[in-house]
Structure 1
Amino acid sequence: MGDFEVLTIYLTRHGETEWNVENRIQGSKDSELTTNGIRDAKLLSKKLSDINFRKIYTSSSKRAVTTANILKNNSFIPIIEEDALKEINFGDWEGKTKIEINERFENEFESLWTSPHLYDHIPHRAESLNDLRERVGHVIQNIVSSNQEGNILIVTHAVVLATIIADLNQSPIEKLWDIPYVHGTSLTIIHFDDNKNLEFKILCDTSHLD
């Protein structure tokens, strides 16, 4: 990271999608935002309306890009699409319901959410959590090092957000889910001071949806 004065990163998850409602795993695949997802993104946009963002970084998945454009709210903030911010690739699980996945991969599916350090990605040809952490770690480091100060907004996905938080906290993978639920359009704010120390100001906050 280069020297900077004060940098604040705002992180959010995309709004609710059709596959979220259908309990389908998305990963690298995509589905449209629902009416509720669009509404929630607009509510977050209103909450952030007084923040002067220098840039918006977003996953290149359509659901995240759509959310980013709602948050941009017709401003001139540049939106930068990053493939490295895409959700973990769930392989053969993608597009299937959680019930369908449990019928064939009960142990793997349960371990992902309850014992992530034991999660086996190989049977369903998916991305590993270690590979995801490396991918996400690189892109966050690049974002921080290329922005010396100001406010940056990142729009991404649930497992990616949990991974970013764990990585910045230097937490092991088994602690991946030791955070509040990553709700669609929830807001996490991380403050970096001039000595490159970081502080989580809020974590997975949904007060704008109340």
Structure 2
Amino acid sequence: MLNLYVARHGETEWNVQNRMQGRLDSKLTAQGIYHAGLLGRKLASTEFESVISSPSTRAVHTAEFLMGDRPLPFETDERLMEIHLGSWQGKTIDQIKAMDPYNYECYLHLPNKYWRDDGAENFQDVITRLESILKSLEETYQSGNLLIVTHGVVVKILQMICKNNSLTKLWIPPVIDGTSLSIVKMEDGKKELILEGDVSHKTVII
């Protein structure tokens, strides 16, 4: 049995500004670093076979805080990157609403109809690459625990896959906040969500 401990990266400067990141990047905020440290403490007693992160800087830095001083095997995989948002990347939500109101409405409320031709990915693209890496992980690691650090849309797609839901239900709760933790049990090709979007570590006072 293989267990995936899937964390979203910590809060970033662009998250605070309501700016879409996609494949672009911004630094973790002080709060994002703090929460990553808290999650790292929570996971300190969990043994991991490896840590696999999106290559985006915000994810790699989060992974470093989660690993702490442990000499864990670490690698990045582009299949864990956030959805490519084309010309939306780097723009605020208000700017996107003004420049492309129809597609933004589809993105939020009709994800099965969200489709753009400016180099952006659609949600099916993310499904395809996530299914690919899940298959690779199960073939490479037959058992144990893996720590995965990725992005909000990727985690929502993972939940959708595990629940065998359609794209129309992509955005059903829980919300995937910064450093939230989800756990997926994988065995014989089956995927079961054990924990979804947990942020209980954020309530710890140190």
- TM-score > 0.5, shorter chain as reference: yes
Taking the aligned partners of 2:92 and 2:69, their CA distance within structure 1 comes to 35
1:201 pairs, out of 194, 199, 206, with 194
CA distance in 1, matches of 2:18, 2:42: 28
TM normalised by structure 2 equals 0.95
Instruction: Pick the aligned partner of 1:143 from 137, 142, 158.
Output: 137
Counterpart among 167, 171, 185 of residue 191 in structure 1 = 185
Is residue 160 of structure 1 aligned with residue 160 of structure 2? no
The structural deviation recorded for 1:197 is: 3.5
Structure 2 counterpart of 1:34, one-letter code:
T
List aligned pairs for 1:172-187, cutoff 5 A: 172-187=166-181
In 1, Cα distance between equivalents of 2:179 and 2:99: 31
Structure 1 ranges of 4+ moved more than 6 A: none
Q: Deviations over 1:17-51 (max 9, x none)?
A: 01001111000000110000000100100111110
SS at match of 2:49: strand
Tell me the percent identity.
37
**Equivalent-residue separation in structure 2 for 1:63 and 1:113 (angstroms):** 23
Match of 1:133 in 2: 127
Query: Are the counterparts in 1 of residues 181 and 198 from structure 2 also a CA contact under 8 Å?
Result: yes
1:160 is displaced (CA, Å) by 0.8
CA distance in 2, matches of 1:120, 1:78: 37
Q: Please state whether the residue corresponding to 1:31 is helix, strand or coil.
A: coil
Question: What value does the CA root-mean-square deviation take over the aligned residues?
Answer: 1.2
* Residue 118 of structure 1, aligned match among 113, 122, 126: 113
Partner of 1:105: 100
Conserved 8 A contact 1:54-1:151 = yes
Q: Is the CA contact 1:56–1:80 (under 8 Å) kept in the aligned structure 2?
A: yes
Q: Are residue 169 (structure 1) and residue 163 (structure 2) matched?
A: yes
1-structure distance, mates of 2:127, 2:3? 21
Paired with 2:171 and 2:179, the residues of 1 have a C-alpha distance of 18
Q: d(CA) in 2 for partners of 1:63 and 1:34?
A: 10
CA contact (8 A) 2:184 2:195 kept: yes
Aligned-partner Cα distance in 2 for 1:166–1:121: 22
Asked if the contact 2:51–2:75 (Cα under 8 Å) also holds between the matched residues in 1, the reply is yes
Residue 140 and residue 196 in structure 1: after superposition, are their counterparts in 2 closer, same or farther (change >3 A)? Answer: closer
Q: Partner of 1:95: helix, strand, or coil?
A: coil
**TM-fit CA distance, 1:196:** 4.3
> Do 1:162 and 1:179's aligned partners in 2 also have CA atoms closer than 8 Å?
no
Total equivalences in the alignment:
203
Unaligned residue ranges in structure 1 (runs of 5+): 1-5
Aligned to 1:56: 51
Amino acid of the structure 2 residue aligned with 1:62:
T
Secondary structure of residue in 2 paired with 1:153: strand
Residue 53 of structure 1: SS of its match in structure 2? Answer: coil
The CA distance in 1 between the partners of 2:25 and 2:66, in whole Å, is 19
